Amino acid sequence: MTSIDILLKRNEELGNVVPGDRSSPKPSLQVAILTCMDARVRVFEIFGLIQGEAHVLRNGGGVVTDDMIRSLALSQRKLGTREVLIVQHTNCGLSMVTEDDFKDELEQATGLRPTWSVEAFRKVEDSVRVSIERVRRSDFLAHTDNVRGFVYDVKTGSLTEVE
């Protein structure tokens, strides 16, 4: 049995138990939350989110990349979100690799060097600041005033704002 099989079985057993408003694709809190794919960042639980309230965009690191800007542009211009909450976290995998080492590894394994940035960082606060700036400076976004960034401590569960 694969992990996907396990998840599908769970879904069948759970049935339709998720509360919330399903009437509109527009998030009722008008907010987009950007965070890391890390399995310890349980974003729905952390913010008590229910269905229909927020867009949740995730990638490795929770960093603002061109593809995050693509999703945010859709989120803001077509689906009415006006605020951006960025949540990166302690003990992130991106703080354990370096840009060049990971690209070298991929190049050695595949013969191709990626054109994209790994977005590796040493200090998570610095990475949060860069992501905030990328949102603020993006001409594609309609709302860049209400953007705030935080570090989530995966051990304690605390959120600390990055100024």
Largest CA distance in the chain: 49
Kindly state the smallest distance separating residue 8's Cβ from Zn ion, in Å.
26
Residue span binding Zn ion (CB under 5 A) among the ranges 35-43, 107-115, 120-128, 135-143: 35-43
13-45 b/e with 16+ CB inside 10 Å = b? Answer: eeeeeeeeeeeeeebebbbbbbbbebeebebee
**x-marked contacts with Zn ion along 103-142 as a string, rule CB under 5 A:** ----------------------------------------
CA geometry: angle at 156 spanning 151 and 161, to 5°? 25
Task: Find the part of the chain contacting Zn ion (CB under 5 A) among 34-42, 44-52, 130-138, 152-160.
Answer: 34-42
Q: Residue 54 or 92: which CB sits closer to Zn ion?
A: 92
Q: At its nearest, how many Å lie between Zn ion and the CB of residue 137?
A: 23
Token pair, residue 123, equals 């200090």
Q: Segment contacting Zn ion (CB under 5 A): 6-14, 75-83, 88-96, 154-162?
A: 88-96
Q: Which residue, 72, 100, 158, 87, is CA-closest to 127? A: 87
- Total interface residues for Zn ion by CB under 5 A: 3
The answer to whether 92 contacts Zn ion (rule: CB under 5 A) is yes
Confirm whether residue 36 is marked as ligand binding.
yes
The answer to whether the annotation marks 55 as part of a ligand binding site is no
Strands, DSSP E only, in 23-76?
31-36, 54-59
From candidates 31, 33, 38, 84, binder to Zn ion by CB under 5 A = 38
What's the start-to-end Cα distance of the chain, in Å? 46
Annotated binding site for Zn(2+): 36, 38, 89, 92
